[in-house]
Copies of this chain bind each other. A is one copy, B any other.
Amino acid sequence: MNQNIKPTESELEILNILWSKGACTVRDVHEVLEQNKDAGYTTTLKLMQIMHDKNLLTRDASARSHVYSANVSQEKTQGQLVKKLIDNVFNGSAAQLVMQALGNHKTDKKELEAIKIYLKEMENKQQ
């Protein structure tokens, strides 16, 4: 059914807003977008209409201002994009990606702890 999610960069920006705020009107989304880039209102509208056509969004059109929601989960989208990165850029090795990510980005103690716990859990399940 919902095979391959391949949002563009602009689409991803919109999805991020909907994931964090829940259902929104175009204006809601546009107001957030405006803070980081300048594009007109109709640009945002058009993008969201296209995303609706592609089934990335659902919408409630009963009111004058339509209310849009993400129709793909954040987790699943993250998963697909990570998989693509691993396949295309890390020769299929998740571990290589992990070390790149850890090496070049600040990660605080709490997060490192979480990762260690995660690793232990995996080991227990594995054997």
Contacts and interface: CB of A to CB of B under 8 A. Distances in A.
Question: Chain A's interface: helix, strand, loop or mixed, by majority?
Answer: helix
Contact of A9 (B88, B96, B100, B107): B88
B122 A119 contact: no
A47 interface: no
Contact of A82 (B78, B100, B106): B100
- How many copies of this kind of chain does the complex include? 2
B82 A94 contact: no
A123 B115 contact: no
Interface of A: 9, 12-13, 16, 75, 77-79, 81-83, 85-86, 88-91, 93-107, 109, 111-112, 114-116, 118-119, 122-123, 126
